[in-house]
A and B are shown apart, each in its own frame.
Chain A
Amino acid sequence: MFSLIQIETYKIFRRPRTYIAFAAITSLIVLIQFGLKVDGKSYLDFMLNDLSTTLQIEGNIMNGYLVCYVMLQLLLVHVPLLIALIAADMISGEANMGTLRLLLTKPFSRTQLMLSKFIASTIYTLLLLIWLAFLALFVSMWIFGTDDMFLMKSSYVVLLKENDVFWRYIGAFVFAALAMTTVAALGFLLSVFAENSIGPIVATMSVIIFFTILSTLNIPIFNTVKPYLFTTHMISWKEFFDIQVNDANEAINGSIQNLPKILQSAAILLIHIVVFVWAAIWVFRKKDILS
């Protein structure tokens, strides 16, 4: 099984298209970092416009922690599309090339093959996230320095102490890994149904775009549907950056405002992963392989 995972991972990283995602993320992050380094003050002035009429805010607001948060907000919506490129190609790609039947002649069960392919796509997903974390967090910390994190939400402001931020990013990235693995699992499931790569890739992207739009639309009629969409739960990583306050309105260091929400979302995503992968294996085991 381990050698099968190694082979599948090797196959992923031999394909040039795998590196499209890494290149896209690198160029986007470098571009945003450049923009914020050169003209971050204007961006901040614009964001602080309302607040600065009553408050005088001092300190290194545009620091690495805030820059990383801004980038994660922008990128974690689009990274799923890059993951779909690989995950939705795992089975359909083999079918398209005509190697699937040949692969199944090897002394492995179909379940083992499916699991190894899913684990390989998960490894790709995690490496992509690690790369994202390295560029967005560590490089930003190096370029912009570190300080307290001043986070402007739509109806309130959160000030996190510098020594209370890093662990939140670890939590956020672990959560993001779970969210991205859900996308990989969806792409993987859809790849079972097609004989070419384009169909499942586009289908995965379409599902994500459709669900994301539904999740973000603030129209009451859709509110009943939102909790059932996995895309609604994918953005719960942001909850790591909200802090509890006591009765005297003092923020409690090391606390999370809505930990149950994070745990609930994580559980829902985990259930999605299990269901998607199980369904993919179930369909594949029943499938008549002709290509």
Chain B
Amino acid sequence: MRKIWIMIVLLIIGVSSHAQDMTALVLKVKEKLDQVNDYEAEGRMKTDVAFIKAPIGKVKVYFRKPDRFRLKKDGGISLLPKGGVSVNIGSLVATQNFMALGAGEAVVDGIATKVVKLLPSDENSDVVLTTMYIDEANLLVRKAVTTTKENGTYEVQMSYGKFAQYGLPDKVIFSFNTKNYKLPKGLTLEFDDNEKPATEAEKLKNRKGRVEIRYTNYTINKGLPDSVFK
């Protein structure tokens, strides 16, 4: 019986120390991201959703600590997945109130990463769980899978380049689940049979929606007016 108790205590100590390690790692990542108070980035956005035919458009992205984020298409209509605010990884680790649990290791784009489960302490948080794939050597988040109460689960995958020292990605791929889109023909006043062939429609049906942003330039810590976030 005593042995069992010792084992349980050791297990608890082991798990809590592991979780503590992960919190430290997340805080290190946060510290790196904290170098950036605000940024303005220019990029090109590609919307890849089976039922949307959209061209690549230029976008401007604005961020200010802790979690103000705005994506504006350069003159035009933008389509973003709900919960698109979290395209920015900074807002994922913006809060101090989380519990970080280690969940092993994984390889993302050929890079070894630590898998960290982030559980927000705030019961009212829209985010239920975030799984982060952290490149420990460079303190970069390579991938994050977030489950929310309102907007389902989405995945953000990041590639880094020139601005890796600030923890800012050159490319962000945002994946999300899409519902099958259908409007009654009486509403669209389309009575001719010009739908996509069934095989193609079937092929596309179960695909995830993707929004890809390639950043071409960042302007960091130059200050941003409130008006850009409106």
- Residue contact A74 to B189, C-beta cutoff 8 Å: yes
Nearest chain B CB to A211's CB is how many angstroms away?
Answer: 12
- Residue contact A153 to B183, C-beta cutoff 8 Å: yes
Secondary structure call for the A interface: mixed
Find chain B residues with CB under 8 A from A160 CB: 55
Cβ-defined partner of A161 (8 Å) among B57, B80, B177 = B57
- Residue contact B79 to A250, C-beta cutoff 8 Å: no
Closest B-chain residue to A52, C-beta based? Answer: B82
- Residue contact A245 to B188, C-beta cutoff 8 Å: no
Please, how many angstroms separate the alpha-carbon atoms of A160 and B81 in the complex? 19
Contact with A along B183-203 (1 / 0, CB 8 A): 111011111111110000100
A56-64, A120-128, A268-276: which lies at the interface: A56-64
Judge whether B3 is part of the interface by a CB distance below 8 angstroms. Answer: no
Find chain A residues with CB under 8 A from B51 CB: 155-157
Known interface pairs A50-B182, A54-B178, A156-B181. Does A148 touch B76 (Cβ–Cβ under 8 Å)? yes
Please, how many angstroms separate the alpha-carbon atoms of A159 and B53 in the complex? 6
Judge whether A243 is part of the interface by a CB distance below 8 angstroms. Answer: yes
Closest A-chain residue to B56, C-beta based? Answer: A250
Interface residues on B, range: 35 or more
Find chain B residues with CB under 8 A from A60 CB: 77
- Residue contact B181 to A162, C-beta cutoff 8 Å: no
Judge whether A251 is part of the interface by a CB distance below 8 angstroms. Answer: yes
Please, how many angstroms separate the alpha-carbon atoms of A55 and B78 in the complex? 10
- Residue contact B52 to A157, C-beta cutoff 8 Å: yes
Please, how many angstroms separate the alpha-carbon atoms of A253 and B55 in the complex? 7
Interface residue tally for chain A (C-beta within 8 Å): 49
Find chain B residues with CB under 8 A from A50 CB: 179, 181-183
- Residue contact A218 to B78, C-beta cutoff 8 Å: no
Please, how many angstroms separate the alpha-carbon atoms of A53 and B180 in the complex? 11
Find chain B residues with CB under 8 A from A291 CB: none
Contact with A along B68-105 (1 / 0, CB 8 A): 00001101111111101000000000000000000000
- A residues near B (Cβ < 8 Å) are 47, 50-51, 53-61, 73-74, 147-148, 150, 152-162, 164, 215-218, 223, 232, 235, 238-239, 242-243, 245, 248-253, 258, 261
Q: List 21 A-B contacts (CB under 8 A).
A: A47-B187, A54-B152, A54-B177, A54-B178, A54-B179, A56-B82, A57-B79, A58-B73, A147-B77, A154-B183, A154-B185, A158-B53, A159-B52, A160-B55, A161-B55, A161-B57, A218-B191, A223-B193, A250-B54, A258-B194, A261-B194
